[in-house]
Homo-oligomer: A and B are copies of this chain.
Amino acid sequence: MKCTVCREPAVIDIRRHNAYFCPDHFLRLCRDQTAKAIKDHQMFGPDDRVLVAVSGGKDSLAVWDILLELGYRADGFVIGLGIGDYSAASTQHARDYATGRGATLLEVNLPDEYGYDIPSGSKAARRTPCSACGLTKRHLFDKAAVDGGYDVVVTGHNLDDEAAVLFGNVLHWHTEYLGRQSPVLPARAGFPRKAKPLIRLGEREMAAYCVLKGIDYIVEECPMAAGNRHLQYKESLNSVEARSPGAKFDFYHRFLTAAAPAFRIADEDDTLSRCERCGAPCSAEVCAFCRLVERATTPQPVHLGPRRRRGAANTATTTDRSTAEGHAP
């Protein structure tokens, strides 16, 4: 198995490219594909200040590293979500990377600064963990970017993530989400621009990138997400991909060019008001995040009988929503 580019020994094959790569040419491929996504979708320019939403997983650390390699002004931002050891380890991986690289990492700790964590807060607020987590991260990314004067929030969503979200949106024909599923969302009404530069690279490549670059990342999936539909959609697409290499890439990228325009709706209302508690742009008096904080931090009454968990059947939609709108995993 030799590198398709230089004939040196290869370490990875990429079936959809029908090619093998040595370490150097594989890393170059990752940089080139990221640069191409940034350029093709006009995500940001060399002078923009970029805030990378870092989870400590392979994707967010890889995108941060690639952006730095490409010469972008990219700082990291990590949220301590309070999901036990998982969050502690995630945050530590982000810190270790920043220290080793000499990069700037901003941090927010949810329990310390907002008084709740995802496991107990989502229960108290009667939301699924993925829904509460998505809402929390969206709000805190936006706030960190606006407060810090960043031009764009970057997330590590890769091709597998985006294709799985698309698959879920298509299975249910959530046309509104289909109209909004884009690798770059422009800034509007107080929200920062958002971009996903990894849409041309799969999660297997991102794991290989980190291994080859010696970037230590948290390997486990979030324990609260286990079994969610997003992961099931990935499995379905993987079985299609195994039979037809490139099918996943085509599914997502052809959607962007051939189908997404059919679902795009007129420009959304840019005249949002401000949350009376936190000042974030929102369409109600109090934003969804502040309502979540209120419920998550209010002592719960004791229930004596069995209780049906509201929204329990709705995981797919809320998971879709949290990712379809362009926010971090």
Residues of A within 8 A of B (CB): 170-173, 175, 178, 229, 232, 235-236, 239-240, 243-244, 247, 250-251, 254-255, 258-259, 262-263
The answer to whether A259 touches B171, judged by C-beta atoms less than 8 angstroms apart, is no
Known contacts A262-B263, A263-B262; decide if A173 and B240 are in contact (CB<8 Å).
no
Once A262-B262, A263-B262 are accepted as A-B contacts, the answer to whether A240 and B175 lie under 8 Å apart by CB is no
State the copy count for this chain. Answer: 2
Q: Which of A172, A254, A262 has the most CB of B within 10 A?
A: A262
Interface residues of chain A: helix, strand, loop or mixed (majority): helix
- Nearest CB in chain B to that of A250: its residue: B172
B236 touches A175 (CB 8 A): no
| B258 touching A175, Cβ below 8 Å | yes
B170 engages A170 (CB within 8 Å): yes
Judge whether A240 and B236 touch: CB under 8 Å: yes
Question: Are B243 and A232 in touch, CB under 8 angstroms?
Answer: yes
Q: How far is the CB of A264 from chain B (nearest CB, A)?
A: 10
Decide: A175 and B259 in contact? CB cutoff 8 A. Answer: yes
Q: Which residue of B lies closest to A258 (CB)?
A: B173
Bound form: Cα–Cα A263–B262 in Å: 7
Q: A128 to nearest B CB, angstroms?
A: 16
Question: What residue of chain B has the Cβ atom nearest to residue A257's Cβ?
Answer: B173
Instruction: With CB as the reference atom, state the residue of chain B lying closest to A178.
Output: B259
Per the bound structure, the CA–CA distance linking A175 and B178 in Å amounts to 15
Closest to A256 in B: B173
Query: Given that A232-B240, A236-B236, A236-B240 are known contacts, is A175 also in contact with B262, CB under 8 Å in the complex?
Result: yes
- List residues of chain B with CB within 8 A of the CB of A229: 243-244
7 examples of A-B residue contacts, CB within 8 angstroms: A172-B254, A175-B258, A175-B262, A235-B239, A236-B240, A262-B262, A262-B263
Contacts known (A171-B247, A173-B258); A239 close to B240, Cβ less than 8 A: no
Cross-chain contact of A259 among B173, B232, B236, B255 (Cβ < 8 A): B173
Q: How far is the CA of A175 from the CA of B170 in the complex (A)?
A: 14
